[in-house]
């Protein structure tokens, strides 16, 4: 019972499943069961910078703090610009091409410019 979501149209909770759809008897709205799940997935893929701005492939960013690169003596300096980022999945979600090399960075350490 609690797995049936409230109606996205009128927010009433008398909804019930009907085949592959949920149905709301209060406003007669019907919507597919898997819609909610796919919306959540799309949201999860939005990568946001330190200010909460969504990042996209090709965006230019700057580092907001010095970052030590694991397993090397390289430190990426705060204020370093990355001209064109590429978003990837995983923990470090931003692929950055820099003079010093190619690094996977966390979006929380970047700011869109």
> Residue 31: how many CB atoms within 10 A of its CB?
16
Give contact residues for Zn ion (rule: CB under 5 A). 7, 9-10, 12, 24, 26-27, 29
3-state helix, strand, coil in the chain (%, to 5): 10, 35, 55
Nearer residue to Zn ion within complex by CB, 35 or 113:
35
Nearest distance from residue 8's CB to Zn ion, in Å?
Answer: 8
CA 93 to chain centre: 9
Q: Which of 9, 83 has the CB closer to Zn ion?
A: 9
Shortest separation between residue 43's beta carbon and Zn ion, angstroms: 22
For Zn ion, the closer of residues 9 and 106 by Cβ is: 9
Report residue 64 as tokens.
């907001």
Identify the helix (H) or strand (E) that includes residue 30.
strand 30-32
Nearest approach, Cβ of 65 to Zn ion (angstroms)?
A: 47
């Amino acid at each position: 019972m609690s797995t049936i979501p409230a109606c996205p149209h009128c927010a009433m909770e008398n909804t019930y499943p009907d085949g592959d759809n949920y149905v709301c008897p209060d406003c007669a709205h019907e919507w597919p069961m898997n819609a909610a799940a796919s919306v959540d997935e799309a949201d999860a893929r939005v990568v946001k910078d330190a200010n909460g701005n969504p990042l996209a492939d090709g965006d230019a960013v700057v580092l907001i703090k010095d970052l030590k690169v694991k397993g090397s003596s390289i430190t990426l300096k705060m204020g370093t610009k990355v001209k064109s980022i590429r978003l990837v999945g995983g923990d470090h979600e931003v692929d950055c091409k820099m003079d010093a090399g190619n690094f996977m960075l966390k979006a929380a350490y970047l700011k869109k410019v």
